[in-house]
Amino acid sequence: MSEPRPAPDPRGTAPGPRRMKPAQLLFEPPEAVTDPEHFFGLESMEDPRELLGRATELALAFRAAADRATEFQALAAAQLADPSRFDRMPLATLAEQAEWTEDYAQKMIEFGRGLMRSGSTLPGETD
């Protein structure tokens, strides 16, 4: 399994960052999601060493998950923009659907094509 690769900045030339609603995490209890102060039990930790350790674990896990999700976005973008597809998606439509600039969409398509050429093993695939 290969290490996640950083992707280009999704904001491209778009105006300032937008705040997006975070997705509900499947392993966090639904009742905890309704409490804005609750975040994986971190708010109840009193030992700063324990808090730092657990928060670091979560940050690394989320970063790795974001990198993998970005790789999947790139693969999907490359597939949707493939000129051999009869239902090829125009660059502007792809960018709009993914909430990217057209320049960033083009970079993601190229990134996805590179992943496909390298035969990168992604979750759900076997070596």
Per residue in 35-69, pLDDT tens? Answer: 667 778 888 888 899 999 888 888 999 999 999 99
CA distance 39 to 44: 9
Q: Which pair of structure tokens corresponds to residue 39?
A: 């975040």
Q: Burial, 113: exposed, middle or buried (Cβ in 10 Å; 0-12, 13-18, 19+)?
A: middle
Q: ∠ at Cα 85 (77, 123), nearest 5°?
A: 40
- Look at residue 27 and tell me whether its pLDDT is greater than 90: no
Instruction: Give the three-state DSSP class for 65.
Output: helix
Residue 16's pLDDT band, with cuts at 50, 70 and 90, is: very low
Mean predicted confidence (pLDDT) in 79-92: 94
At residue 70, does pLDDT exceed 90? yes
Share of the chain above pLDDT 90, in %: 46
pLDDT over 60 at 10, yes or no: no
Checking if the pLDDT of 86 tops 70, the result is yes
Give the rounded distance of the alpha carbon of 2 from its chain centre. 16
* Residue 54 pLDDT: 87
Q: Give the predicted TM-score (pTM) of the model.
A: 0.62
Report pLDDT for 46.
Answer: 87
- Enter the tokens of residue 31: 């009742």
